[in-house]
A and B are shown apart, each in its own frame.
Chain A
Amino acid sequence: MNTPSQAKPQLIIIGNGMVGHHLVEQLIERGATEQYRITVFGEERHRAYDRVHLSEYFAGRDAESLAMCDADVYADGGVELRLSESVTAIDRDVGEVVTDQGRYPYARLVLATGSYPFVPPIPGHERDNCLVYRTLDDLDAIRAAAENATTGVVVGGGLLGLEAANALRGLDLDTAVVEFAPRLMPMQVDAEGGELLREKIESLGVQVLTDRATQHIEDGQASFHRMVFQDDKVLETDLIVFSAGIRPRDELARDCSLEMGERGGVVIDDRCLTSDPAILAIGEVALWNNSIFGLVAPGYQMAKAAADTLLGGKLTFEGADMSTKLKLLGVDVGAIGDAHGNQTPGARTFRYLDEIKQEYRKLVVSSDGKKLLGAMLVGDNAYYDTLMQYYANAMELPEDPAALILPSTEGAPTLGADALPDGATICSCHNVTKGAICATIDAGATDLGAVKASTRASTGCGGCAALLKSVVDHELEARGVEVDQSICEHFAHTRQELYDIVRVEGIKTFGELIDKHGHGSPQSPGLGCDICKPAVASILASCFNEPITDAAHIPLQDTNDTFMANMQKNGTYSVVPRVPGGEITPDKLVVLGQVAQKYALYTKVTGGQRIDLFGARLEDLPDIWGELIEAGFETGHAYGKSVRTVKSCVGSTWCRYGVADSVGMAIQLEHRYKGLRSPHKLKFAVSGCTRECAEAQSKDVGVIATEHGWNLYVCGNGGMRPRHAELLATDLDDAALIQAIDRFLMFYVRTADRLQRTSVWRENLEGGLDYLKAVVLEDSLGIGDELEAQMQTVIDNYECEWAGAINDPEKLKRFRSFVNDARPDPDIIVTEERGQLRPA
């Protein structure tokens, strides 16, 4: 890496964790590559991943889905990323970074090395199966050790310790937590809160031992280890995970004599500069104002300040609030500001304890009762957002502050979005204020999705989703933007309302619906339009699944549905026969070739593992389908807002890695759901192992085989706005998989907006993934049977629309080029390219 004198100065970033990654994002976004050559060193083999959600790795998420960005973001942004390369020294005298592979000169250097888990020097801590919980490699080691273990212990009952305990539970180990302090999470909760937390966690089957100092670890009798405590009591276990706090990874800085804190950490100023102005430090390695910030949000703020410093700006890091809300082992815990009430003289507290529901809340207020200094929540974080706003904006408390933590009843004061000042931070991950949200709305954003896309609010931890929605709704309303949900001028109803009307009243035609519920006068409710007609056609099909070629339904359909083919730009159509799971016999493949030759069709393989035949003239469609049906094909519904394909990898039948028959499952699913009409198209995939060759995590419904069954992912999307699917359920057997998909699909069909893909529907679903899980897996709404029954109706009424049409002379009349002339449309002109015909 010799740098010619003319070249841009070299910026080196050591560390590719979440904070280091955020810095790179900032730099790319701000065009820093114009000014610097940028090289990033990461010692792990994975590029930056989401450490906050690390425990999901055991719930089925893999390294790729935890990654902070797509693989090519760095390269596309002009940033060199060197993974699996450890920096061993910094030579400040010559300005070079030394790695295990070479020396690299730098002009500016950023330390984003993060922290490492502290392992207390207990005799025996270096034994086999004594592990830590920090990186994906650590998790792989834990998983490997758990193979031969039945019990596991986490040493450390703080935030990360409880996360680790959750991970061990996820590996089916009998799990215990050993904490040195008298209670769990001593940093966040007090004695009462800690007691409640212990009860809740013990009720999940996790053993909790507090006030325990481990003296040494030796060979066990029944298990691999025996832990001996200060009172000579013992605990046997097969596996130990240390999670006793973190320490800054500051050895590089120490070795090159940068100024260090007494207890570690690289000292930085407000601009993230270390004692050497060529070198910056951010994240958990950095010591600012004698504090280390062990949360991601302050790290991001440092990254922003550092990016600005590198670009010559004046932005400073001004400290960060350590308030946090978490869900640990399913238990809500929140701490705001001075939650213990020991930082301000004269502070007063309010406490609410419910030992039945297991909820605890505490307010710490100023001596005059006017300002919120801190708060503590165990059991229900619903109170967090409002309290956080009072705290962060130093707002005056209501007359009776206790009402803020009492169970919500009517009349309890709630903090409306209008009460927040413009400077109020709504999203702390991306530091988005209410003022910034208002500015986006003033600039033309008219819904939540647009605000999220433009400000990135609520795209970090997602904790502010509910608050963001209420702010956006309120601001839109305040601007007189009536959030009009009417589907079009003919109906004053949303799609969901129309759906309910159709179901409840058993309405079977568009005419009946518009006569009874149309918006116009009773004498003339109007004809409908190209918005409401196809939407109602889809609803009727989802409910009753009558053939769309029936006379009453024909005028409702888009041309693609009417002619059961996809219109192309020159007025011809493309034909896509169904190829379930992408499996096709050689004989059928030959037929497709013969049909394409006979009718001069252009052929192309689709992304959904089918073959698309282009350029079919309207009047040829019935003959083409006659031949296809004769050969055993049926319609592929490529023209409908409906279930399209179930893509699959070849699975265990052929593949040496496959753990299940993915093709068989794909074919089963495709036959089950084919023809289901929905608010928008639906794509499925089934992968036979975790290598995921069918790309199921980019589909509306993705199924991935595991050793124990199937993992079900939902609401993914490719296309314009790609979205990773989310894990809905794990290790399902065949029947449970189908039940879950039945319910999921019908719940979507029932509640989604017109032309709303599952991804957008999911993002707008109040309650998010947890709510969806509750509805689908736990039947929290009590509609599971109904959804399944409705799916069964659709399945029972399935018929191939083309098979129905080619035997009905009335239906075939529509496929004439002209009602009064048999000539083909003379204006369709084709030319040859690469051996096939295309529109001229």
Chain B
Amino acid sequence: MSTATAEAPTMTQTWQTLCTKADLVPHSGVAAWIETADGPAQVALFYLPGPNTPEKTVPGSNTPQPGHSPELYAVDHHDPFSGANVIARGIVGDVQGEPVVASPLYKQHFRLTDGQCLEDETVRLRTWPLRLDGDKVEILA
């Protein structure tokens, strides 16, 4: 059960505006619909503001991942274990300091930085860079 991981930005990707900051729910998720070069996708957007948020890094490195805001995450809304589109409705938190979302159906944890499932190393959600431009929430897809 593996899902393709996010590729590095290519020429076909652009920053698309999804919604405003007010549409996000602090410390929780909402779903968005995007069109990509590979077809449409359902995306879960998470917003973790505040001092308790871990520094956003690429796993294995200590440098902030370039291109997106430290408090915003976008991963697949599709839950590979249940086949339902529900990830945005999971509880977010951290495991050993890494921000994660727990699937609301069968409770597997997915790392928000790279989509990796902590219970099954063969499963990974796609991730997209997400940023704030003023009040606008933009995704690179």
Chain A residues engaging chain B, CB cutoff 8 angstroms: 489-490, 511, 514-515, 520, 523-530, 532-534, 551, 554-560, 562-563, 567, 569-571, 813-814, 816-821, 823, 825, 827-828
Q: Are B84 and A570 in contact (CB under 8 A)?
A: yes
Q: Are A529 and B95 in contact (CB under 8 A)?
A: yes
Residues of B within 8 A of A557 (CB): 91
CB closest chain-A residue, reference B26:
A555
Question: Which candidate, B2-10, B60-68, B102-110, B127-135, is the interface stretch facing chain A?
Answer: B102-110
Residues of A within 8 A of B52 (CB): 511, 514-515, 524-527
Residues of B within 8 A of A821 (CB): 32-33
Q: Are A819 and B31 in contact (CB under 8 A)?
A: yes
Q: Identify the interface centre among A515, A551, A556, A821: most chain B CB within 10 Å of its CB.
A: A821
Q: Are A814 and B91 in contact (CB under 8 A)?
A: no
User: Which B31-62 residues sit within 8 Å CB-CB of chain A?
Assistant: 31-33, 42, 45, 48, 50-54
Residues of B within 8 A of A818 (CB): 31-33, 42
Q: How far is the CB of B73 from chain A (nearest CB, A)?
A: 12
Q: Are A555 and B91 in contact (CB under 8 A)?
A: yes
Residue B13, interface by CB 8 Å = no
Please list the 9 inter-chain residue pairs (A to B) with the smallest Cβ-Cβ separation, ordered nearest first: A529-B93, A571-B84, A555-B27, A559-B104, A530-B102, A821-B33, A530-B91, A559-B89, A555-B28
Given known A-B contacts A569-B82, A818-B32, A819-B45, A524 and B93 have beta carbons under 8 A apart: no
Q: Interface majority SS on A: helix, strand, loop or mixed?
A: loop
Q: Are B89 and A562 in contact (CB under 8 A)?
A: yes
A/B interface sample: 14 pairs, CB < 8 A: A511-B50, A515-B52, A525-B52, A527-B27, A527-B48, A527-B94, A529-B91, A530-B91, A530-B107, A533-B91, A555-B27, A567-B86, A819-B45, A820-B33
Given known A-B contacts A526-B52, A555-B26, A559-B86, A823 and B33 have beta carbons under 8 A apart: yes
Residues of A within 8 A of B48 (CB): 527
Residue B123, interface by CB 8 Å = no
Q: Identify the interface centre among B33, B51, B91: most chain A CB within 10 Å of its CB.
A: B91
Q: Identify the interface centre among A558, A562, A569, A820: most chain B CB within 10 Å of its CB.
A: A820
Residues of B within 8 A of A523 (CB): 51
Q: How far is the CB of B109 from chain A (nearest CB, A)?
A: 8
CB closest chain-B residue, reference A531:
B93
CB closest chain-A residue, reference B46:
A555
A558: contacting residue among B51, B53, B91, CB under 8 A = B91
Q: How far is the CB of A584 from chain B (nearest CB, A)?
A: 30
Q: How far is the CB of A839 from chain B (nearest CB, A)?
A: 9
Given known A-B contacts A489-B95, A554-B25, A555-B25, A819 and B89 have beta carbons under 8 A apart: no
CB closest chain-B residue, reference A529:
B93
CB closest chain-B residue, reference A510:
B27
A527: contacting residue among B30, B99, B109, CB under 8 A = B99
A723 to B95, CA, bound (A): 36
Residues of B within 8 A of A819 (CB): 18-19, 23-24, 30-32, 45
Residues of A within 8 A of B86 (CB): 559, 567, 571
A557 to B93, CA, bound (A): 12
Residue B92, interface by CB 8 Å = yes
Mask of B113-135 contacts with A, CB within 8 angstroms, 1/0: 00000000000000000000000
Residues of B within 8 A of A558 (CB): 91, 104
Residues of B within 8 A of A534 (CB): 91
Q: How far is the CB of A87 from chain B (nearest CB, A)?
A: 56
Residues of B within 8 A of A520 (CB): 97
A559 to B104, CA, bound (A): 6
A562 to B24, CA, bound (A): 15
CB closest chain-A residue, reference B86:
A571
A559 to B83, CA, bound (A): 17
Residues of B within 8 A of A489 (CB): 95-96
Residue B69, interface by CB 8 Å = no
